[in-house]
Amino acid sequence: MEKLPFKKRIFFFCVEYIGTFLIRLIYLTCRVKFSDTKLSDETCVVVFWHGRLAMMPFAYLRYWKRYYGEKRKVKVIISDHKDGEIITRVISHFGIGAIRGSSSKGAVRALMNAFSEIKNGVDVIITPDGPRGPRHSVADGAVTIAQKKNLKIYALNYEAS
């Protein structure tokens, strides 16, 4: 993202740290139960619904960091818009990287960067329904990446009440 004016930098800084704090606080107040699922040792594509963003960093900490430590990395494809910048900053506090781009802006660049990251052994995460929807409808991105690179696709989900 281009160099931002001072007020916007302050805004992003505040939202980044307040958002990270609130996500951690909410998680700490929840009773959590994880399934015994273990990811494959091979690089993969992971999908989860766009409406399930908030607690996904904890799934990452559970399923990637717990079993693989620092040797296995993951990056999420995130839009180039302002909300994507906030999400990118927040997830960085959980050790998650970002590939910037979306179907409407920077799609080819995001796809090429995803291929490059996969070549380096990085798992790629995508929300197949995206922010524009339709909700819970799978777009082509995850399938295209998995087919072109001959990778397995894993679906990740959580339920809250």
pTM of the model: 0.87
- pLDDT digit string (tens) for 89-145? 999 999 999 999 877 777 889 999 999 999 999 999 998 887 676 787 787 888 899
Closest CA to 112 of 85, 141, 132, 82: 141
Domains and CATH numbers, the chain: 6-155 (3.40.50)
Contact of 78 with 158, CB cutoff 8 Å: no
Residue 5 identity: P
Confidence at 2, pLDDT banded by 50, 70, 90: low
Helix, strand, coil fractions of the chain, as percent rounded to 5: 45, 15, 40
57 alpha carbon, distance to own chain's centre:
8
Distance CA 110, CA 132 (A): 17
Question: pLDDT of 30-50, one tens digit each?
Answer: 988 888 877 778 899 999 888
pLDDT tens for each residue of 60-84: 888 888 777 777 899 999 988 888 8
